[in-house]
Chain A
Amino acid sequence: DAGVIQSPRHEVTEMGQEVTLRCKPISGHDYLFWYRQTMMRGLELLIYFNNNVPIDDSGMPEDRFSAKMPNASFSTLKIQPSEPRDSAVYFCASSFSGTGHNEQFFGPGTRLTVL
């Protein structure tokens, strides 16, 4: 398996632009998580899905952020409009509930810079 795939790996954009981050989870995994990591705040859970359904989006900072999972193999995190304080590394992770515990497998991350 190729693992969790994220694109793009790096994104540089200007304030006010729309940013879309993409994630392909590991095949067969039924949970998908979006995280944001900064030096100041560490790794923060933004939202997670179970079987493509959003379960908890309480970590989404504000209405500028939205996430979708149209099918089991694809998810997007969108920021519109982007702001400099959104600069961070965004990780997608997936897990399989059938193992009985919650080991998460992370993608390589998208490093976002908003100028």
Chain B
Amino acid sequence: RKEVEQDPGPFNVPEGATVAFNCTYSNSASQSFFWYRQDCRKEPKLLMSVYSSGNEDGRFTAQLNRASQYISLLIRDSKLSDSATYLCVASPGDKIIFGKGTRLHILP
């Protein structure tokens, strides 16, 4: 089983819609979780950390379910500029493990 698994997509979503991604992780010792965003031919950049209680940043909401070992990302009122690949990350200790990413295309 891969350490961090994501649906590769692509998710093709009309502008203004709500979209959600899930990601599962296998290492129960993981303590920190993140969502990164990667634009085409660019480096990954931190989108948001994921806290146990769940957290929200504008149109973005991240949640963690430790019992089922998954994290989620919800994007409301999607914009064309949200088109990117979203990388799920779990961190057991010093290093962090990236998923392969979910591609999102927002359609005008």
Residues of A within 8 A of B (CB): 31, 33, 35, 41-43, 45, 48, 50, 55-56, 91, 101-109
Asked if B20 lies at the interface with its beta carbon under 8 angstroms from chain A, I say no
15 contacts between A and B (CB under 8 A): A33-B95, A35-B98, A42-B100, A42-B101, A48-B94, A56-B95, A91-B44, A101-B32, A101-B49, A102-B32, A102-B34, A102-B96, A103-B34, A103-B49, A106-B44
Q: List residues of B whose CB falls within 8 A of some A CB.
A: 32, 34, 42-46, 49, 87, 91, 94-101
Please tell me if the beta carbons of A103 and B98 are within 8 angstroms of each other in the complex. Answer: no
Query: Is B95's CB under 8 angstroms from A43's CB?
Result: no
Which secondary structure dominates chain B's binding surface? strand
B98 contacts A42, C-beta separation under 8 Å = yes
Which of B42, B44, B91, B94 contacts A43, CB < 8 Å?
B44
Contact of B95 among A41, A45, A91, A105 (CB under 8 A): A45
Q: How far is the CB of A31 from chain B (nearest CB, A)?
A: 7
**Given the complex, which residues of A lie within 8 Å of B49, measured CB to CB?**
101, 103
Q: Are A45 and B94 within 8 A (Cβ)?
A: no
Inside 8 A of B98's CB, which chain A residues have their CB? 35, 42-43, 45
- Name which residue of chain B comes closest to A92, CB basis: B43
* A48–B95 touching, CB < 8 Å: yes
Chain B residue contacts of A104, Cβ below 8 A = 46, 96
**With A42-B100, A42-B101, A43-B100: A103-B95 Cβ-Cβ less than 8 Å:** no
Partner of B43, one of A33, A102, A109: A109
Minimum distance in angstroms from B5 CB to a CB of chain A: 11
Query: Which residue on chain B has the smallest CB distance to residue A103?
Result: B46
Q: Which of B45, B46, B87, B96 has the most CB of A within 10 A?
A: B96
The complex places the Cα of A108 from the Cα of B26 at a distance, in Å, of 29
Is B34 in contact with A45, judged by CB distance below 8 angstroms? no
Q: Which residues of B contact A43 (CB under 8 A)?
A: 44, 87, 98, 100-101
Q: In whole angstroms, how far apart are the Cα atoms of A56 and B91 in the complex?
A: 14
On whether A45 and B43 interact (CB within 8 A), knowing A101-B49, A102-B32, the answer reads no
